[in-house]
Amino acid sequence: MDITGLKDTVYQLLTVYGLRVVAAIAILIIGRWVAKGLRNFISRLMAKNKVDETLNKFVTSLSYVALLAFVVIAALNQLGIQTASFIAILGAAGLAVGLALQGSLSNFAAGVLMIIFRPIAVNDFIEGAGVTGTVEEIKIFTTTLITPDNKTIFIPNAKLMGDNIINYTTRGTRRVDVSIGIGYGDDIDKARKVIEQIVSEDERIEKDPAPAIVVSELADSSVNFSVRVWASADQYWSVYFDILEKVKKRFDAEGISIPFPQQDVHLYQH
């Protein structure tokens, strides 16, 4: 082939494929710009609706990557490259990854539901997945709890959402139940007045609902009172412990006995 024929061939190739290359580059540039614009729009929309920041970042990043993948496939198709097999390979790879990460995906789905519906929030005191503690952080895959004895527990979201969740914080107040026993020879009315006075003197105890002090059981060795009062959720344990301590001291001062199990042993000699 002479020089003139070679030039004609190169010119024809540039004419045919040059335009495709330019079009492919234009698709990449414009597509990337559009993907960024849509990512920012989605981010602003989710922020406006007060969607959790963690979910916001994850969704915007995922949408951006998906749009870029679409743009790259469109650019390759413009160059004349068959993308059907490429898409099939991506689909098969996605299926394989999905099966391999089945547990992680279930945790992710549960995390998204937790962030959207908010059965729990940071600083809530909850019981779930067999543990009890204060929620420190809610992530896409796990939730972090701090136990009362300062242990950190990481719970997979699927396990937490797959069982009952008891949230002790959302209602603001909790009922404090205390059981107190007196001897059968003690005056029930006197004991009740002492307990009522202890409860009325504690400013942490709510007036509404009103405290309930009732005889709940005639046990083997004691007459048991059930003391039911309402207090702020974060004051639950301090109120519970203080009631027990004050009742013991006041009963001692008033001569009211608090019986405890006893056993008489009789020895016989043969």
User: Is the sign of the CA dihedral 205, 209, 215, 217 positive or negative?
Assistant: negative
Quickly tell me which residue has 């797959």 as its tokens: 162
Considering only 96-110, 138-152, 160-174, 187-201, which range has the smallest mean pLDDT? Answer: 96-110
pLDDT tens digit sequence for 67-77: 888 888 787 77
Q: How far apart are CA 132 and CA 155, in angstroms?
A: 11
% pLDDT > 70, the chain: 80
Determine the pLDDT at residue 111.
82
Query: In this model, does residue 1 exceed pLDDT 50?
Result: no
Q: How far apart are CA 143 and CA 121, in angstroms?
A: 10
Q: Which two tokens stand for residue 211?
A: 């405290």
Considering only 38-42, 85-89, 161-165, 168-172, which range has the smallest mean pLDDT? Answer: 85-89
Determine the pLDDT at residue 231.
96
- Report the DSSP beta bridge partners of residue 230: 175
> Average pLDDT of 80-105?
63
Considering only 37-51, 157-171, 189-203, which range has the smallest mean pLDDT? Answer: 37-51
Domains 3-100 and 173-254 share a fold: no
Determine the pLDDT at residue 64.
82
Label residue 16 by pLDDT band (50, 70, 90). low
> Average pLDDT of 214-229?
94
Q: How far apart are CA 216 and CA 112, in angstroms?
A: 45
User: Cα separations (Å) of 268 from 215, 265?
Assistant: 40, 10
Determine the pLDDT at residue 2.
52
Query: In this model, does residue 171 exceed pLDDT 70?
Result: yes
CATH architecture of 173-254: 2-Layer Sandwich (3.30)
Pick the CATH number of 119-167 from 2.40.110.10, 2.30.30.60, 1.10.287.3510, 3.40.50.300: 2.30.30.60
Task: Calculate the average pLDDT of the chain.
Answer: 84
What ranges do the domains of the chain cover?
A: 3-100, 119-167, 173-254
Determine the pLDDT at residue 98.
57
Tell me which CATH code domain 3-100 carries.
Answer: 1.10.287.1260
Query: In this model, does residue 11 exceed pLDDT 60?
Result: no
pLDDT tens digit sequence for 233-266: 999 999 999 999 999 999 999 999 998 776 767 7
Q: 221, exposed or middle or buried, with CB in 10 Å at 0-12, 13-18, 19+?
A: exposed
